[in-house]
């Protein structure tokens, strides 16, 4: 009897139990086609990014302007349907100097590190913002509270994703 069975109880199975049909076994290869829906709030947010705008939602009760936008206020638990354009500038709330790529491979010697940061966007409530990359700045110069502005991809290259903003640079 295996140690797992002794600890957790149950009935141990062997390869013979499976091959002889003692237990039911089925094999299948599923072909699962699916579509991913961004939902109403994020869909509009991404459509506005494609146009070069950042949009948020405002709660009528607590007056918070939340970003990324939501369709309900998680503090007041009421529907939110007031849309507000905010600025494409803000301040660095926190940041990291990353010496690994997104796939966890190391940044090569001489290659600039990645600089992800949480940017509190101007016009949104305090603490509201987005995580994005910093650019046109040396890691040693980055400071919490530093003012930054979005650097947008050319309009023809935008796809309606967060990467329509290339990065945020100091201003």
Residue pLDDT, tens place only, 15-26: 888 888 888 777
- Residue 66 per-residue DSSP state: E
- Where are the alpha helices (H) located in 39-157, listed in sequence order? 39-50
Instruction: Give the angle 48-49-54 at the CA atoms, nearest 5°.
Output: 75
pLDDT of residue 37: 82
**Are the beta carbons of 90 and 148 closer than 8 angstroms?**
yes
pLDDT band at 114 (very low <50, low <70, confident <90, very high): very high
**Does residue 6 have a pLDDT over 80?**
no
Q: What is the mean pLDDT of residues 106-127?
A: 95
pLDDT of residue 63: 96
SS3 73: coil
State how far the Cα of 95 lies from the Cα of 41, in Å rounded to an integer.
26
State how far the Cα of 92 lies from the Cα of 145, in Å rounded to an integer.
5
pTM over 0.75: yes
State how far the Cα of 94 lies from the Cα of 102, in Å rounded to an integer.
18
Q: What is the mean pLDDT of residues 99-115?
A: 91
**In terms of pLDDT, which residue wins out, 158 or 110?**
158
């Amino acid at each position: 009897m295996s140690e797992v069975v002794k600890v957790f109880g149950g009935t141990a199975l062997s390869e013979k139990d499976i091959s002889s049909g003692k237990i039911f076994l089925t094999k299948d290869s599923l072909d699962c086609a699916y579509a991913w829906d961004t939902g109403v709030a994020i869909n509009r947010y991404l459509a506005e990014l494609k146009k070069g705008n950042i949009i948020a939602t405002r709660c009528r009760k607590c007056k918070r302007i939340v970003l990324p936008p939501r369709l309900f206020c998680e503090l007041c638990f009421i529907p939110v349907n007031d849309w507000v354009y905010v600025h494409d500038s803000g301040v660095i709330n926190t940041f990291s100097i990353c010496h690994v790529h997104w796939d966890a491979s190391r940044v090569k010697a001489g290659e600039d590190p990645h600089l992800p940061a949480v940017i509190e966007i101007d016009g949104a409530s305090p603490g509201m913002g987005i995580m994005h990359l910093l650019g046109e700045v040396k890691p040693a110069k980055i400071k919490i509270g530093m003012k930054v502005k979005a650097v947008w991809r050319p309009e023809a290259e935008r796809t309606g994703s967060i990467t329509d903003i290339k990065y945020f640079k100091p201003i």
